[in-house]
Amino acid sequence: MKKFKNSIILLLLLPMYLNSCSYRLVDFTVISSKNHALKIDKSIGVRVKGSSIGFLGIGASIKDAMDKALQSAGPEYDLLIDGVIRVDDYFLVSGYKVSGIAMSSSKLKASIGENNYENWCNSHNIYKPKQ
């Protein structure tokens, strides 16, 4: 009887291991894994954290964690610099945690000037669509 129960459990779990799926992890505007010397005043930014956690990781996404981190700083913050993304795995619960410095592009532009901001964007190959 015990062998029969083990076989049933194995048959029920087998589809989960044979299953595959594809899903979007993150949408980004600017991202880099290289260290860059950003000549900006980081003191005008706000240190933030955000997380997206789900049962077995279902529904958790890096994008949601990044959005929550930026939203925690306030509505005017739209850039995340010096960011770190961590994967958190606990028993039956997993997801992503994001931390970094939230910056406001309008405050950044005001602090360094319009021309310097444009030069900074161009020197770091940041694409800025025409409005």
Q: What pTM value is reported for the model?
A: 0.62
Residue 61 domain flag: yes
Q: Is the pLDDT of residue 24 over 60?
A: no
Total count of domains within the chain: 1
Residue 5 domain flag: no
Residue 99 domain flag: yes
More confident residue, 105 or 52: 52
Q: What is the pLDDT of residues 102-116, one digit of tens each?
A: 888 788 777 777 787
Residue 29 domain flag: no
The first and second tokens of residue 95, run together, are 């997801």
Residue 121 domain flag: no
Rg over alpha carbons for the chain, rounded to the nearest Å, is: 21
Confidence class for position 32, pLDDT limits 50, 70, 90:
low
Residue 110 domain flag: yes
Residue 101 domain flag: yes
Residue 10 domain flag: no
Reduced 3-state DSSP string for 32-79: CCCCCCCCCCHHHCEEEEEEEEEECCCCCCHHHHHHHHHHHHCCCCCE
Tell me the percentage of the chain whose pLDDT exceeds 90. Answer: 2
The first and second tokens of residue 123, run together, are 């020197």
Q: Is the pLDDT of residue 39 over 80?
A: no
Give the residue numbers spanning the domain of 92.
44-114
